[in-house]
């Protein structure tokens, strides 16, 4: 027995003369456009791309080193010089941004990690004790600063591991070192103001020297520039908190 449920389908996009008349009279919606696949575009060949400044900027350090053997760059003195400059920038950036967090050390590490640190590196050491709330408050601020200023070395050490019998009433204590010498020390959380914030701690640390270094200002950043940046962030934070309070009060 034949299949009486078969439905004939015409070529996609085709229509009958009757359908065309009905569309002219407005009894049928406009005929949809037939499907047309997008034109095939082959993936660009990297070898055919123009070799210019932006092309070099996209390269990693390893790729830039490989380009040293590229004969095309030898023919273009500008690109070869720019390749060397870009490679030097990447290496310098990797060298400067070498910390970025608080490094835990022990008593036996102190001389190597702090006293013998390179002369161009400022080291901030916090003496702390677990379970003392003031230490936790200051540690949060220093963790924030360690992220913002990766070229400054931040370390933490248990107070009695650094100085035997060091009184708990003196923790947290912050020592600032540079070129093997103590440049400043701050005993107790009160040294950083009534309300301890990352911005407040930053201003105290930079009272006399440019202790904080974000790695963007060279090896000898201006103390005034650092302080100005800290003040700007502090103002932005106050404004943001004020706006958040206004939004919260208006929604009640």
Task: Evaluate whether residue 251 is within a structural domain.
Answer: no
* Residue 92 and residue 113 in one domain: no
Query: Could you count the other beta carbons within 10 Å of the beta carbon of residue 9?
Result: 7
Distance CA 248, CA 252 (A): 7
Distance CA 116, CA 18 (A): 93
Predicted TM-score (pTM) of this structure: 0.57
**181 bridge partner residues:** 178
Token representation of residue 138:
């200051």
Task: Evaluate whether residue 42 is within a structural domain.
Answer: no
Task: Evaluate whether residue 188 is within a structural domain.
Answer: yes
Task: Evaluate whether residue 139 is within a structural domain.
Answer: yes
* Residue 127 and residue 179 in one domain: yes
Residue 139 confidence (pLDDT):
97
* Residue 125 and residue 162 in one domain: yes
* Residue 92 and residue 115 in one domain: no
Query: Of 30, 62, 96, which residue constitutes the final position of a domain?
Result: 96
Task: Evaluate whether residue 250 is within a structural domain.
Answer: no
* Residue 110 and residue 69 in one domain: no
Total domain count, the chain: 2
pLDDT digits (tens, 9 = 90+) for 73-111: 655 665 667 667 777 766 666 555 578 899 999 999 999
pLDDT band, very low/low/confident/very high, at 45 (cuts 50, 70, 90): low
pLDDT digits (tens, 9 = 90+) for 211-223: 888 776 554 455 5
* Residue 173 and residue 211 in one domain: yes
* Domain boundaries, position 203: 102-238
- Euclidean distance between the first and the last CA atom of the chain, given in angstroms as a whole number: 75
Query: Of 79, 96, 113, which residue constitutes the final position of a domain?
Result: 96
pLDDT band, very low/low/confident/very high, at 7 (cuts 50, 70, 90): very low
**102 bridge partner residues:** 154
Task: Evaluate whether residue 8 is within a structural domain.
Answer: no
Segment 42-67 mean pLDDT? 66
* Residue 172 and residue 70 in one domain: no
Is the confidence at residue 227, as pLDDT, over 60?
Answer: yes
Task: Evaluate whether residue 200 is within a structural domain.
Answer: yes
């Amino acid at each position: 027995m034949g299949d009486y449920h078969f439905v004939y389908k015409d070529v996609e996009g085709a229509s009958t003369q009757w359908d065309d008349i009905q569309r002219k009279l407005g009894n049928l919606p406009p005929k949809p456009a037939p499907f047309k696949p997008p034109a095939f575009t082959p993936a660009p060949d990297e070898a055919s791309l123009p070799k210019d400044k932006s092309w070099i900027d996209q390269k990693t350090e390893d790729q830039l080193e490989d380009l040293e053997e590229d004969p095309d760059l030898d023919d273009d003195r500008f690109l070869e010089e720019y390749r060397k400059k870009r490679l030097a920038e990447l290496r310098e950036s990797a060298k400067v941004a070498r910390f970025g967090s608080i490094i835990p050390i022990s008593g036996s590490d102190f001389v190597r990690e702090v006293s013998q640190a390179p002369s161009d590196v400022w080291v901030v050491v916090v003496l702390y004790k677990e379970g003392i709330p003031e230490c936790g408050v200051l540690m949060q601020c220093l963790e924030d600063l360690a992220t913002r200023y990766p070229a400054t070395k931040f370390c933490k050490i248990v107070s009695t591991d650094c100085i035997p019998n060091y009184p708990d009433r003196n923790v947290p204590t912050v020592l600032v070192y540079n070129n093997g010498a103590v440049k400043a020390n701050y005993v107790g959380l009160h040294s950083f103001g009534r309300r301890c914030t990352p911005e407040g701690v930053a201003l105290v640390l930079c009272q006399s020297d440019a202790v904080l270094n974000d790695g963007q200002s060279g090896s000898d950043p201006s103390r005034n520039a650092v302080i100005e940046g800290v003040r700007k962030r502090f103002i932005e934070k106050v404004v943001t908190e004020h706006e958040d309070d206004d939004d919260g009060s208006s929604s009640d």
